[in-house]
Chains A and B, each alone.
Chain A
């Protein structure tokens, strides 16, 4: 079984994010890391291949400046190889443009299954996986919390407001994986060493036959016209509990007429 996982490499979310004032794009100057939201897809893919008794997991990513930091992490977890699309013309690419690029890269491979995170941690549009499926004219199932493959059918527990639905479709298909539904493995020392030697194929737009006007700022056909500071919520009173904090709360509940 061949599984492709779409992974995003993002600025460390633990660091404060910032928009570049000249472009209003998210600053991506520092080292990029594997988006935690995608680590679940990588783990799920590795488990599916193990359950199938063979096959491999390949990664696909789009990132500026030939960045591979996040890919190495996923390779160290056990993915076989990776394709990275990097091109200076991609700056400012929106969700649809990203899907065009990733689907073009994927169409050169022939996967049984494509996995992606439901949404990235930094952009969280939650539309790219479904757009990739659209561009590849494939069935898709979003918000998966459990995935099983039997023959050429993929069976998914799809998270819903009320609980979950059982959904299935034929392969090849794309499935987006909800964060937190599996425990991503920690790369072992051996895994980390092996990852350094794994093949990362780097492609530009030419290699994919994509016209640069279809992506980047021009392709996005939208413009950030201003960025404003939101009205900050005023912090109120903060008191230290001396065993009587509940009284303070009761008083406040009374003022609000909650009790």
Chain B
């Protein structure tokens, strides 16, 4: 027995669906006989890739530009769910994914289970897996509601794989006016300069933490990252302190990275940081405190001062 239909809340931009969306498509495919996608926006530009990842249909609201989409997406999703009764709806653990799932949960009075990294079908119900206590334990939750199972998944929990299928059929859905609740509008967008490899898909990530001592020392991290063709990341401590932008934050409330190599410099290894990088293939940690928890997950741990070890490393790499 398997699940009949899973609807995936698909996100992306002009260039197509996000990596996370394709991961969810792949997971949904392994559980359900039919997988459909819902796009709060222009579904047509995503139909090829969604189809290639197993979507039979792409439901599309059409452009929702200028609006904060959660409320609008949830209203249209509700109509969709009532018409087609999917067994589950999968969302990415993203700002819009959370907003939409939360609004939808209230509209249809069904529970949402968040932060999942796995899903299975057991005894006729969907079971989702959530890591707790910094990923030291996993909690498995079975849905006991009668209605669709609403589940949110963390990025990089599954590997995206195409099926080789063709483009999915795009089905336009009516926008539903959510009234005053939908009145939040976006009046401006500000993007930070992004150059070099991006955290999400870099093969090597070099991150710095409070152990760097002062904001200027982050230049060392950028330089080392440059020499290794790596993306630079950070702990929340230095994001909160304003040394680097939020886009660099790795961890529970930042990005989840799974590079071939993660280099943690002056980072203690708090559980909220570990959940964002513990899945890396290899980890190097540099920390002056031999008791720092980061050493518990490092393949190579250096007990030392970042201000000595990193400049020496940069020097050695430059002279190669």
Which residues B125-158 have CB closer than 8 A to chain A?
A: 127, 131-133, 135-145
Most central of A130, A166, A232, A252 by chain B CB within 10 Å = A130
Cα(A131)–Cα(B181), bound, Å: 12
Q: What per-residue 1/0 map shows which CB atoms of A162-201 lie under 8 Å from chain B?
A: 1111111110010000011000000000000000000000
Q: DSSP majority for the A interface?
A: mixed
Q: How far, in Å, is A227 (CB) from chain B's closest CB?
A: 5
B244: interface (CB < 8 Å):
no
Cα(A24)–Cα(B140), bound, Å: 10
A126: interface (CB < 8 Å):
yes
A19: interface (CB < 8 Å):
yes
Which residues A112-159 have CB closer than 8 A to chain B?
A: 118-119, 124-131, 133-135, 137-143, 158-159
- Closest B residue, CB atoms, query A121: B272
- Closest A residue, CB atoms, query B95: A143
Q: Known contacts being A180-B239, A250-B313, is A134 close to B115, with CB within 8 Å?
A: no
B162: interface (CB < 8 Å):
no
| Residues of B in contact, count (CB < 8 Å) | 90
Contact of B107 with A161 in the complex, beta carbons under 8 Å: no
Q: How far, in Å, is B299 (CB) from chain A's closest CB?
A: 4
Q: Known contacts being A221-B143, A227-B139, A230-B137, is A249 close to B184, with CB within 8 Å?
A: no
Q: Known contacts being A246-B309, A246-B316, A258-B204, is A131 close to B102, with CB within 8 Å?
A: yes
- Closest A residue, CB atoms, query B309: A245
CB contacts (< 8 Å) of B283 on chain A: these are 233
- Closest A residue, CB atoms, query B194: A162
- Closest B residue, CB atoms, query A137: B181
Cα(A39)–Cα(B122), bound, Å: 41
- Closest B residue, CB atoms, query A122: B132
B15: interface (CB < 8 Å):
no
| Residues of A in contact, count (CB < 8 Å) | 76
Of the listed stretches B56-64, B164-172, B214-222, B246-254, chain A binds: B246-254
Q: Known contacts being A165-B188, A221-B111, A249-B302, is A238 close to B98, with CB within 8 Å?
A: no
Cα(A236)–Cα(B68), bound, Å: 46
Contact of A125 with B114 in the complex, beta carbons under 8 Å: yes
Contact of A169 with B183 in the complex, beta carbons under 8 Å: yes
Which residues B182-215 have CB closer than 8 A to chain A?
A: 182-192, 194, 203-204
Most central of B70, B106, B110, B182 by chain A CB within 10 Å = B106
B161: interface (CB < 8 Å):
no
Q: How far, in Å, is A57 (CB) from chain B's closest CB?
A: 23
Cα(A4)–Cα(B122), bound, Å: 42
Cα(A163)–Cα(B193), bound, Å: 9
Cα(A180)–Cα(B235), bound, Å: 13
Contact of A127 with B105 in the complex, beta carbons under 8 Å: yes
Which residues B216-247 have CB closer than 8 A to chain A?
A: 228, 236, 239-240, 245-247
User: Which residues of B line the A interface, CB within 8 A?
Assistant: 68, 70-71, 74, 93, 95, 98-99, 101-103, 105-107, 109-115, 122, 127, 131-133, 135-145, 179-192, 194, 203-204, 228, 236, 239-240, 245-247, 252-253, 260-261, 278, 282-284, 286, 290, 295-305, 308-309, 312-313, 315-317, 320
* Complex A-B: 20 CB contacts under 8 Å: A94-B111, A95-B102, A99-B102, A125-B112, A127-B98, A131-B103, A135-B106, A139-B184, A163-B190, A163-B245, A166-B189, A222-B113, A223-B141, A225-B122, A228-B138, A239-B303, A256-B261, A258-B203, A259-B317, A259-B320
User: Which residues of A line the B interface, CB within 8 A?
Assistant: 16-17, 19, 24, 94-96, 99, 118-119, 124-131, 133-135, 137-143, 158-170, 173, 179-180, 220-230, 232-233, 235-241, 243, 245-250, 252-253, 256, 258-259
User: Which 4 residue pairs are nearest across A and B when measured between Cβ atoms?
Assistant: A241-B304, A180-B240, A134-B106, A130-B102
